[in-house]
């Protein structure tokens, strides 16, 4: 795997390194030792899938507070998404900064989002499927969100938001 560290500490794009032969290929997508070597939380306790029917579906910006703060490893297994990590750690040098990476089923790249960062994505085509691995169990009492278009962050979404849940659309301002 190749690890590309972004401008936000702990947010890392990970690309598998396929080994090909006449059958196809084999590639590692997770290794505890490799994650630890790059300073990433290797704990995995839960995996989820989300499926979005339509291009322009926005999910996010979600996170969990302590004691249930979670790291996520996100991969688009079908279609493509514009995946965003938003630093909401008050002591961080990149507090209120965001990074985005296009994740595709074809490229098989992933985004690691550490604890203390909110996460969300916009589907770039119909029928997008996303696979998440989390370091913490989901706890509805710890679940929080930030409005996708909060002016405090000025996230430059690449296309119009066509579908969004009531919950995601109505989160309060971060400030």
Task: Report residue 163 as tokens.
Answer: 């579908």
Radius of gyration of the chain measured on its C-alpha atoms:
16
Q: Percentage of the chain with pLDDT > 90? A: 98
pLDDT tens, position by position, 4-41: 999 999 999 999 999 999 999 999 999 999 999 999 99
Q: How far apart are CA 137 and CA 106, in angstroms?
A: 29
Give the total residue count for the chain: 175
In this prediction, residue 79 carries a pLDDT of 98
Extended strands (E) in the chain = 2-5, 12-15, 19-21, 24-26, 46-52, 57-64, 72-78, 80-87, 98-104, 110-113, 117-123, 128-134, 143-145, 163-164
Residue 175 has pLDDT above 80, yes or no: no
Classify the C-alpha dihedral 69-3-98-164 as positive or negative: negative
Task: Report residue 161 as tokens.
Answer: 């938001």
Per-domain boundaries in the chain: 2-18+27-169
Q: Angle CA(139)–CA(6)–CA(84) in degrees, nearest 5?
A: 45
Name 148's Cβ contacts closer than 8 Å, sequence gap at least 6: 58, 60, 61, 120, 155, 157, 161, 164, 168, 169, 171
Q: Decide: pTM greater than 0.75.
A: yes
**Minimal CA–CA distance to 87: which of 79, 96, 78?**
96
Residue numbers annotated as active site: 62, 132
pLDDT tens, position by position, 124-171: 999 999 999 999 999 999 999 999 999 999 999 999 999 999 999 999
In this prediction, residue 56 carries a pLDDT of 98
Token look-up 């339509």 returns: 54
Decide: residue 107, CB within 10 A, 0-12 exposed, 13-18 middle, 19+ buried. middle
24: left (phi > 0), else alpha (psi -120 to 50), else beta? left
pLDDT tens, position by position, 44-83: 999 999 999 999 999 999 999 999 999 999 999 999 999 9
CATH number of 2-18+27-169: 2.60.120.10
């Amino acid at each position: 795997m190749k690890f590309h560290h972004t401008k936000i500490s702990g947010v890392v794009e990970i690309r598998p390194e396929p080994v090909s032969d006449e059958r196809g290929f084999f590639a590692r997508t997770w290794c505890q030792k490799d994650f630890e070597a790059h300073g990433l939380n290797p704990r995995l306790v839960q995996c989820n899938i989300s499926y979005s029917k339509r291009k322009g579906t926005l999910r996010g910006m979600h996170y969990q507070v302590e004691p249930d703060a979670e790291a996520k490893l996100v991969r688009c297994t079908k279609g493509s998404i514009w995946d965003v990590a938003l630093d909401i750690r008050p002591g961080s040098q990149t507090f209120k900064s965001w990074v985005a990476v296009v994740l595709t089923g074809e490229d098989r790249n992933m985004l690691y989002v550490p604890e203390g960062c909110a996460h969300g994505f916009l589907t770039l085509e119909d029928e997008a499927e996303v696979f998440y691995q989390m370091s913490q169990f989901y706890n509805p009492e710890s679940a929080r969100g930030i409005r996708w278009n909060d002016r405090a962050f000025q996230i430059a979404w690449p296309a119009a938001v066509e579908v969004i849940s009531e919950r995601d659309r109505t989160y309060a301002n971060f400030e």
